[in-house]
Amino acid sequence: MPSPVGPVLRNATYRRLLTAQVVSLLGTGLATVALGLLAHDLAGRRAGAVLGTVFAIKMVAYVVLAPVATALVARLPRRSVMVTADVLRAVVALALPFAGQVWQIYVLVFVLQAASAVHTPTFQSALPDVVTDEHEYTQALSFSRLADDLEMVLSPMLAAALLLVVSTHTLFVGTGLGFAASAVLILSVVVPRAAATPDEGTPFEELPLGARVRHGALLMARTPGLRPALALNLAVAAAGAFVLVQTVVIARDTFGQSNDVVALLLAVNGLGSMTTALALPAVLRRRSERAVMLGGAVLLTVTTFAVPLALGIQARTVGLVTVGVLWLAVGAGWAAAEVPIARLIVRHVPAGERHSVFAAQFSLSHACWLVTYPLAGWLGAAGLPGAALVLAVVAAAATVGATALWPRRLAPLPA
């Protein structure tokens, strides 16, 4: 039997684009760790508030700027657009270590994420023209998702290893090198021009953001099997935001640890997510999505409620290990609650409408993060235990809502 991943990887152009995506994501992951450490250097215990704002800026770029930027560059050569975005991201990454004020971080991050808001959808739009076989295109999408997941695990681990021998600012150099390598790889391939669209009305991709989100969101709201996803997005964002925003403060200030421990804790969170994601295909053959996804949301909620207890442990080593276990559980619950959403969309939405629903799911899930990131940051500045409890309550309410919205009986997945 031929390898299920062989055909698409034999496409040389796709291999280089995938490699460009991987090195770019590694650079982004290094920047996430480095930004947390830089924020701590500039703001101390208020680093969580700074990071909450930084991540909120990222969500604004993805939710608001991405569709606008895509429309602006739609008629330009896609290879040139991606390379220019990578070069701009590399320049900004190299400038970040020189930021001496918090507002300078905000400006640079906005420029960085605006470039990403151009690069990511342009990359996604090029894939179906590079990989024209439908089955291979599905494989390509799977590899792209795997690359996103691997970023959560590999980048913090790489950062932890680098921090043993280099300074925090050197991580930004690694980020810049990742973006530069991505630009070189994209320059080495020929990216087909986008096919002309027949004049059959305004294509969905060119509709205003509000119209696209409303169309897909209304479909989700009208479809009983998809309504729970709206609530699960909020549960995931509530628990995940606390981990991503406050890990640097917990490691550095609560337990007095070094920078490499910050990266290690983030890697543990990613490891929980990746391990669960890899196990889900086998688990979902024996358990329903309802049981798995609601179970993941419950795990997220209970774990976040337990955070204040871990923070109150006097023995530093025991407390730190306890936080690590909780972060592993958050990652596992995160994947269990979120990854199967795509299966529900495939099951309940006709093929011609799936694009709009996936677009709505992307925007609505990021909108949840846009709320919880600053909430985690600014509440954490007043007290970490209180912030964890508030976000746990948000996750609990979302989980209860998802449970109430979920029908007991759903149709089987198509063969």
Residue 402 sits in a domain whose CATH number is 1.20.1250.20
- Nearest residue to 343 (alpha-carbon basis) of 283, 271, 275: 283
For tokens 């306890």, the residue is: 322
Looking at the predicted structure, is the pLDDT value of residue 360 above 70?
A: yes
**Where does a domain end: 146, 174, 196?**
196
Q: Please state, in angstroms and rounded to a whole number, the distance separating the CA atoms of residues 176 and 90.
A: 4
Q: Please state, in angstroms and rounded to a whole number, the distance separating the CA atoms of residues 5 and 22.
A: 17
Q: Which amino acid is at 312?
A: G
Q: Please state, in angstroms and rounded to a whole number, the distance separating the CA atoms of residues 335 and 274.
A: 7
**Where does a domain end: 173, 196, 219?**
196
Q: Tell me which of 91-100, 211-220, 250-259 is least confident.
A: 211-220
Q: Please state, in angstroms and rounded to a whole number, the distance separating the CA atoms of residues 122 and 116.
A: 10
Tokens (6 digits) for 176: 């810049």
Q: Please state, in angstroms and rounded to a whole number, the distance separating the CA atoms of residues 355 and 125.
A: 13
Total domain count for the chain? Answer: 2
Chain-centroid distance of CA 191 in Å reads 26
pLDDT in tens, 191-250: 877 654 444 444 555 555 556 557 777 888 888 888 898 899 999 999 999 999 999 999
Looking at the predicted structure, is the pLDDT value of residue 2 above 60?
A: no
284 & 239 share domain: yes
183 & 244 share domain: no
User: Could you count the other beta carbons within 10 Å of the beta carbon of residue 58?
Assistant: 22
306 & 383 share domain: yes
**What is the span of the domain harbouring residue 393?**
208-415
In a domain, 6, yes or no: yes
57 & 82 share domain: yes
Q: Which amino acid is at 129?
A: D
Instruction: Tell me if residue 284 falls in helix, strand or coil.
Output: helix
Instruction: Find the mean pLDDT for residues 145-150.
Output: 67
In a domain, 201, yes or no: no
For tokens 């996103």, the residue is: 148
**What contacts 100, CB < 8 A, 6 or more positions away?**
42
In a domain, 52, yes or no: yes
| Long-range contact pairs involving 224-227 (C-beta distance under 8 Å, separation at least 24) | 224/405, 224/407, 225/344, 225/347, 225/348, 225/407, 225/410, 225/411, 226/344, 226/345, 226/348, 226/349, 226/357, 227/405, 227/406
82 & 190 share domain: yes
**Where does a domain end: 196, 224, 259?**
196
**What contacts 237, CB < 8 A, 6 or more positions away?**
365, 368, 369, 371, 372
In a domain, 342, yes or no: yes
In a domain, 127, yes or no: yes
158 & 29 share domain: yes
pLDDT band at 1 (very low <50, low <70, confident <90, very high): very low
In a domain, 203, yes or no: no
For tokens 């024996």, the residue is: 286
153 & 191 share domain: yes
81 & 220 share domain: no
Instruction: Tell me if residue 75 falls in helix, strand or coil.
Output: coil
Positive or negative: CA dihedral 319, 310, 368, 292: positive
Cβ-contact 346, 354 below 8 angstroms = yes
pLDDT in tens, 9-21: 788 888 899 899 8
Tokens (6 digits) for 29: 């992951």
Predicted pLDDT at 142: 63
pLDDT band at 71 (very low <50, low <70, confident <90, very high): low
185 & 224 share domain: no
Cβ-contact 411, 343 below 8 angstroms = no
DSSP conformational letter for 349: S
By the 10 Å C-beta count (0-12 exposed, 13-18 middle, 19+ buried), 330 is classed as buried
Q: How far is CA 12 from CA 20, 179, 185, in A?
A: 12, 20, 11
Q: Tell me which of 47-51, 109-113, 205-209, 236-240 is least confident.
A: 205-209
Which string of b and e fits 269-297 if b means at least 16 CB within 10 Å?
Answer: bbbbbbebbeebeeebeeeebbebbbbbb
Q: 0.85 exceeded by the pTM?
A: no
Identify how many contiguous H helices and E strands the chain contains and give both numbers: 16, 0
Q: Please state, in angstroms and rounded to a whole number, the distance separating the CA atoms of residues 91 and 78.
A: 20
Tokens (6 digits) for 265: 């804790």
